């Protein structure tokens, strides 16, 4: 055998050996057990809750606005002051409105004098008509028909003049009432007891009516802080789980070391549509509902517009059979053995057909967990109930004491039905809890 043939044979043997080792390694890797975190199905106390953010507000508050135009000459309160109902708040320069009242009073006096004169003329015309009528009835040609007619006309004119002057007097009195009302609006008093939570003006500024803008005419805001609300916005997917009277824990950013309790007092029936920016750059609309929570014992230092976060308890379960949230996974529909794809490229389908296929696929997806027995993980569908912070209530599918795969998220996502598994080292505390 030549030297070249010997070298070739040697290389062939080496390559065959390497191929055998690679195939053995792959087979060993295929048969290796996946490291997972295992947990027993057990019972826990569960609390289902909805979390939402918002702000603090007073149940009752009043915006004090100007109804007239004028320069502010005196402010009787400061922001943060407590006020009582009827207490003086602010004075607008009354000079022009006092002049308006004086002018209206003069018009009333003039109209009253005209009315008195018109009434006297009417009375005189009425007496003249009475005399003319008496003489006409007595006969003897004591008065001519023309004179009687003139007396009737004079009475009618005097009566019309009296009605006109009376109308002018009524108009003058109405003008006086209007002028007095305008003058009264220069002095503002508190319509309720509470605290001045906002003072938007200073002495010397000009107050104007907020005809076109509420902020333009706003002078100050008074709030009754005896009843405090947390106003939050809840997503449309969660609002259906809420009910008036639900217990709530409210965290206020300004009081980081305290938590306050309350109850849901109002759930809006109409949504607030808020534009949101999607990752693709398009604009979507988030659908949120306003929810009001009445705090049971708010702090004395609380004030409106403080940021808060509410945790609304929607349901509780005592000693409920539970599985970790991370353990619940979804597996797609698996084709039956006789299913096969058509040869070649798939024929085109319509959009409606594609949508039907997607919906059908979603219906075929099943939620479940991987139950471990003798080192083999078997997917088993389960039916879950309420969700707590870390556990799902499980209604059916597993029994207490059974071992299930409870992590990691990556391991559960990639795990196949019938795969070999083994217990991994305990994961560090604070590991992420996710639903695969």
Q: Mind giving me the DSSP string for 233-264?
A: EEEHHHHTT--TT-EEEEEETTSTT--EEEEE
Q: Which of 344, 345, 332, 411 is nearest to 377 (CA)?
A: 411
Domains of the chain: 34-47+319-334+351-423 (2.40.420.20), 51-57+228-316 (2.40.30.170), 94-185 (1.10.287)
How confident is the chain (436 residues) per 10-residue block, as mean pLDDT? 62 65 54 87 94 94 92 94 95 95 95 93 90 80 83 91 94 95 94 93 90 79 93 94 95 92 95 68 77 93 92 94 94 48 42 50 76 94 92 94 92 91 70 46
Which pLDDT does position 398 carry in this prediction? 94
Q: What's the CA gap between 101 and 428, in Å, rounded?
A: 82
Provide the b/e sequence for 128-146 (b: ≥16 CB within 10 Å).
bbeebeebbeeeeeebeee
Residue spans of beta strands (DSSP E) within 328-375: 329-331, 366-373
Which pLDDT does position 336 carry in this prediction? 37
Which pLDDT does position 382 carry in this prediction? 95
Q: Which residue has the tokens 């503002």?
A: 188
Which pLDDT does position 339 carry in this prediction? 36
- Kindly state the DSSP code that residue 296 receives in the 8-state scheme: S
Q: Which of 9, 12, 195, 2 is nearest to 89 (CA)?
A: 195
394 vs 44, 238, 258, 290, CA distance in Å? 11, 20, 34, 32
Which pLDDT does position 346 carry in this prediction? 42
Q: What's the CA gap between 251 and 231, in Å, rounded?
A: 12
Which pLDDT does position 290 carry in this prediction? 95
Q: Which of 338, 389, 330, 391 is nearest to 361 (CA)?
A: 330
Which pLDDT does position 135 carry in this prediction? 84
Which pLDDT does position 314 carry in this prediction? 93
Greatest Cα pair distance in the chain: 182
Which pLDDT does position 340 carry in this prediction? 39
Q: Which of 310, 371, 380 is nearest to 41 (CA)?
A: 371
Q: What's the CA gap between 158 and 76, in Å, rounded?
A: 55
Q: What's the CA gap between 260 and 294, in Å, rounded?
A: 10
Phi, psi dihedrals of residue 217, rounded to the nearest 5°? -90, -5
Which pLDDT does position 343 carry in this prediction? 36
Contact 89, 189 (CB under 8 A): yes
Phi, psi dihedrals of residue 407, rounded to the nearest 5°? 155, 170
Contact 70, 204 (CB under 8 A): no
157 vs 5, 162, 170, 242, CA distance in Å? 149, 9, 20, 77
Which pLDDT does position 25 carry in this prediction? 56
- 125: three-class secondary structure by DSSP: helix
Provide the b/e sequence for 284-301 (b: ≥16 CB within 10 Å).
eeeebbbbbbbbeebeee
């Amino acid at each position: 055998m030549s030297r070249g043939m010997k070298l070739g044979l040697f290389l062939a043997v080496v390559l065959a050996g390497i191929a055998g080792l690679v195939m053995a390694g792959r087979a060993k890797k295929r048969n290796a057990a996946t490291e997972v975190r295992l947990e027993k199905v057990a019972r826990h106390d569960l609390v289902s809750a909805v979390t939402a953010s918002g702000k603090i507000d007073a149940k009752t508050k009043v915006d004090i606005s100007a109804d007239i135009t004028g320069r502010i000459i005196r402010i009787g309160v400061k922001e943060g002051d407590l006020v009582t109902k009827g207490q003086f708040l602010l004075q607008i320069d009354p000079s022009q409105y006092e002049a308006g009242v004086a002018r209206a009073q003069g018009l009333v006096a003039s109209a009253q004098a005209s009315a008195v004169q018109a009434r006297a003329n009417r009375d005189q015309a009425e007496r003249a008509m009475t005399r003319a009528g008496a003489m006409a009835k007595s006969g003897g040609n004591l008065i001519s028909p023309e004179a009687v007619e003139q007396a009737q006309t004079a009475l009618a004119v005097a009566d019309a003049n009296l009605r006109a002057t009376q109308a002018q007097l009524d108009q003058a009195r109405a003008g006086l009432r209007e002028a007095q009302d305008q003058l009264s609006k220069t002095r503002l008093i508190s319509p309720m007891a509470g605290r001045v939570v906002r003072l938007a003006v200073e002495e010397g500024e000009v107050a104007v009516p907020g005809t076109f803008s509420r902020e333009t005419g706003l002078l100050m805001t008074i709030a009754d802080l005896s009843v405090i609300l947390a106003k939050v916005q809840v997503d449309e997917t969660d609002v259906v789980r809420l009910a008036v009277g639900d217990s709530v824990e409210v965290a206020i950013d300004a009081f980081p070391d305290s938590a306050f309790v309350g109850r849901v007092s109002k759930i809006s029936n109409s949504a607030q549509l808020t534009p949101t920016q999607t990752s693709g750059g398009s604009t979507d609309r988030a659908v949120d509902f306003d929810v009001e929570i009445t705090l049971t014992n708010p702090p004395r230092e609380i004030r409106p517009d403080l940021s808060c976060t509410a945790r609304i308890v929607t349901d509780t379960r005592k000693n409920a059979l539970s599985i970790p949230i991370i353990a619940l996974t979804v597996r797609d529909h698996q084709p039956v053995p006789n299913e096969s794809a058509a040869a070649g490229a798939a024929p085109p389908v319509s959009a409606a057909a594609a949508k039907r296929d997607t919906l059908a696929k979603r219906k075929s997806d099943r939620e479940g967990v991987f139950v471990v027995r003798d080192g083999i993980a078997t997917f088993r569908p389960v039916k879950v109930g309420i969700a707590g912070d870390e556990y799902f209530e499980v209604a059916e599918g597993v029994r207490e004491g059974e071992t299930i795969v409870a992590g990691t998220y990556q391991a559960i996502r990639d795990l196949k039905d019938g795969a070999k598994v083994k217990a991994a080292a305990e994961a560090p505390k604070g590991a992420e809890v996710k639903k695969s």
